[in-house]
């Protein structure tokens, strides 16, 4: 599965170009050859677990109903971060519970042209960013 996810990530890169920004990400979400089910992006932390940065929230009992990829609002002004986070979630959209973290890393890293270790490091850096809520609470 990991090799398949990496190949799909490479296909994303080949079809959308070497730089995946906000515009390319939205084109990707519309491409049913690369993203099996309809997806939208919402900057909404309500369905996220503590310390979770993004989550592909199913919109119904069947995947055909689509997904709302919820991204923590703290990333709303960092669209490059949003791209990395959404790419990671797309493996869950495409493959459901069969997908592993390693599959998501293989897909995301190939799509953005990084090694799996570099992509994982990028995700770790994003996770280490303090949330606005934590920053405000810490200053009070």
Domain ranges of the chain: 2-130
- Find out whether 1 and 105 touch, Cβ atoms under 8 Å: no
Task: Please provide the distance, in angstroms rounded to a whole number, between the alpha carbons at the two ends of the chain.
Answer: 47
DSSP readout, 65-79?
G-EEEEE-GGGTT-H
Phi, psi (rounded to 5 degrees) for 71? -120, 135
Counting Cβ atoms within 10 Å, is residue 77 exposed (0-12), middle (13-18) or buried (19+)?
A: exposed
- Tell which phi-psi region holds residue 96, choosing left (phi > 0), alpha (psi between -120 and 50) or beta: left
Confidence check: pLDDT of 132 > 50: no
Which range (23-27, 31-35, 89-93, 134-138) has the least confidence?
Answer: 134-138
- Find out whether 63 and 37 touch, Cβ atoms under 8 Å: yes
- Of 122, 91, 126, 121, the closest CA to residue 6 belongs to 91
CA distance 71 to 81: 10
Confidence check: pLDDT of 133 > 80: no
Summarize the confidence of residues 123-135 as an average pLDDT.
72
Confidence check: pLDDT of 99 > 90: yes
- Of 100, 81, 94, the closest CA to residue 39 belongs to 94
Confidence check: pLDDT of 84 > 50: yes
Confidence (pLDDT) at 95: 95
Tokens representing 130 are 């303090």
């Amino acid at each position: 599965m990991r090799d398949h996810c990496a190949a799909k990530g490479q296909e994303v890169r080949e079809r959308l170009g070497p730089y995946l920004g906000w515009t390319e990400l939205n084109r990707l979400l519309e491409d049913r050859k690369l993203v099996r089910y309809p997806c939208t992006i919402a900057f909404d932390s309500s369905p996220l677990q503590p310390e979770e940065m993004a989550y592909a929230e199913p919109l119904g009992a069947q995947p055909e109903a689509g997904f709302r990829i919820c991204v923590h609002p703290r990333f709303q002004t960092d669209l490059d971060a949003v791209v990395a986070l959404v790419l990671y979630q797309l493996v869950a959209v495409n493959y459901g519970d069969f997908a592993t973290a390693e599959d998501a890393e293989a897909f995301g890293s190939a799509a953005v042209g990084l090694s799996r270790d570099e992509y994982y490091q990028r995700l770790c850096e994003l996770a280490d960013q303090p949330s606005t809520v934590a920053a405000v609470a810490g200053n009070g």
